[in-house]
Amino acid sequence: MRGRALARDIALQRIERLFELAETFFNNDDDRRRCVELARRIGMRYRVRLPKHLKMKMCRKCNAFLVPGRTARVRLHPKRKYITTTCLSCGHETRRPYKTPRPPSPRREQP
């Protein structure tokens, strides 16, 4: 059991490192996409969820690394209370609310 937990921890570290590498590639979008694809593949192989802050940096449809103003367009909708992120590679739109997240329910706490 310890070996599996260690493998998942290493996989999560590699995923985070791949996203850091994707941020360093300024001009090459293909290298960024490759880093994101590798990170997703590692996550699926070791059954590790991508952290939420990293998941928002990638397009779910084409695996592009989203950089606002370069590979993504970000729009705020104040009346509807959400943010729209549009991938400029494939046109896929992602909507996220920008209200404060609710605290976890006490019923879902596990002992």
2-24 vs 29-45: helix axis angle to the nearest 10?
A: 170
Terminal Cα distance for the chain, rounded: 20
Output the pLDDT for position 107. Answer: 81
Q: What is the pLDDT of residues 19-77, one digit of tens each?
A: 999 999 878 888 999 999 999 999 999 999 999 999 999 999 999 999 999 999 999 98
- Specify the DSSP element, H or E, that contains 53: helix 52-55
Question: Which one is predicted more confidently, 28 or 16?
Answer: 16
CB 16 within 8 A of CB 8: no
Q: Where are the domains of the chain?
A: 2-102
Query: How many residues does the structure list for the chain?
Result: 111
pTM for this prediction: 0.79
Output the pLDDT for position 110. Answer: 59
Cα separation of 80 and 110, whole Å?
35
